[in-house]
A and B are shown apart, each in its own frame.
Chain A
Amino acid sequence: MTLSLAIPVLETPRLILRGPEPEDFDPLAAFLLDHDRSWGFGSEKDRPKAWRWFACSIGHWALKGYGYFTMEWKETGEPCGITGIWNPEGWPEPEIGWVVYAGFEGRGIAFEGAERARKWAYEDLGFTTLTSNIVPGNERSVALAERLGATFERAYDNVEMGAEHLYRHPGPAELGLETDADGSPEAYA
């Protein structure tokens, strides 16, 4: 039996955003175990812990219907990072997250991927607002959040990460996106 989830495939000029596959684990683990690169995202101390995070990220899709996409660099088909909507237990609200793997920095991949994931969350899932949680001092991430139009809203304590700054993204109307009114949570409230 093959189990799969119908995770959508999204496209940007240079990227494919698709559901996580087992072979994505190696590059993801390389990132999670590299503290210098992953401290702002949440490092894992060993490969078993990284595996657990990977399995959890797939379970997140299954339980919530959204999660982290693997970003594939179209030109070569290589996984070049992850982006998507993350909202595990204890999170203040759903957030857009992004990670770019070693060797793929400086190309604007995080911006391109995160902007597409945000559009999907607003247009297709019916989210009405989104945030990004950033560890103070992660200036690269702050710069990207601001480039995406997000603004600092408040400081809070994250259950996993400790002190974090919550940035609020512009809503779908501010971004001029078409949303299906029937898809919004309010329409069902």
Chain B
Amino acid sequence: MMHAALPMESPSTPVAMAQAGELSAGLPRLQTDRLTLRAPELADFEAYAQIACSSRGEGLGGPFSRDEAWYDFASMVGIWLLRGHGLWAVEETTTKRLLGFVVIGFEPGDQHHELGYMMCEETEGQGYATEAAKAARSYAQDTLKIPVLDSYILPSNARSIALAERLGATHVGDISYPEDEDPSRIYRHPNPAEV
């Protein structure tokens, strides 16, 4: 279900937005052939809400209400400052079109760092998610030296499983989250340091 954007999603005062812009300066910006992974901004929330509040949000623990989605979005931004990794917005470099999001997360209940991807529906089928996830994974492994990186995926999410397998991740076990009915599959990503 679509909701109209609410007043609090629009920019705040110029001074406040300048302060918010500082995060962009500090976050790593990654480039791939076609994509730029950049700091999320307030204006990106609309796209995140469309994913998290629809059936596409099931893999995130949703579908969420809009206010729940905002908490989720803001907390994935906030962990950059607590843990040095977090959420990127993925845009097409040439057009600056927002395609979706990738995250290096570590949420309560996770056993290891997690690589997550949430792409907008209309951008599927062009390999964007694979390209963005590979860039985030390389950053996690090569720059942050994160030794174990998993993707937690519901067994019903065939698309996400296919992507994990395309990325070379393997099903190594299952994990249960208190808020989910079904356990998720743990897909563990290959670590180049071990090859």
**Interface of A with B (CB < 8 Å)?**
1-7, 22, 47-49, 51-66, 87-91, 93-94, 124-127, 159-160, 183-185, 187-188
B41 adjacent to A126 (CB under 8 Å): no
**Interface of B with A (CB < 8 Å)?**
6-9, 12-23, 26-28, 40-42, 45, 65-67, 69-71, 73-82, 84, 107-109
A56 to B69, CA, bound (A): 11
B13 adjacent to A56 (CB under 8 Å): no
A59 to B77, CA, bound (A): 5
A56 adjacent to B74 (CB under 8 Å): yes
Q: How far is the CB of A26 from chain B (nearest CB, A)?
A: 13
Question: How many contacts between A and B, using CB within 8 angstroms?
Answer: 142
Among residues of B, the one whose C-beta sits closest to the C-beta of A89 is B70
A89 to B42, CA, bound (A): 11
List residues of chain A with CB within 8 A of the CB of B40: 63
A48 to B107, CA, bound (A): 8
B78 adjacent to A62 (CB under 8 Å): yes
List residues of chain A with CB within 8 A of the CB of B28: 1
A48 adjacent to B8 (CB under 8 Å): no
A89 adjacent to B69 (CB under 8 Å): yes
B78 adjacent to A59 (CB under 8 Å): yes
A185 adjacent to B13 (CB under 8 Å): yes
One of B23, B41, B75 near A5 (C-beta < 8 A):
B23
Instruction: Decide yes or no: A22 and B75 within 8 Å by CB, A66-B16, A125-B15 being known contacts.
Output: no
A56 to B109, CA, bound (A): 17
- List the 8 closest pairs (A to B, CB-CB), nearest first: A48-B108, A89-B70, A59-B78, A59-B74, A65-B16, A58-B78, A65-B19, A59-B77
List residues of chain A with CB within 8 A of the CB of B107: 48, 52
B80 adjacent to A62 (CB under 8 Å): yes
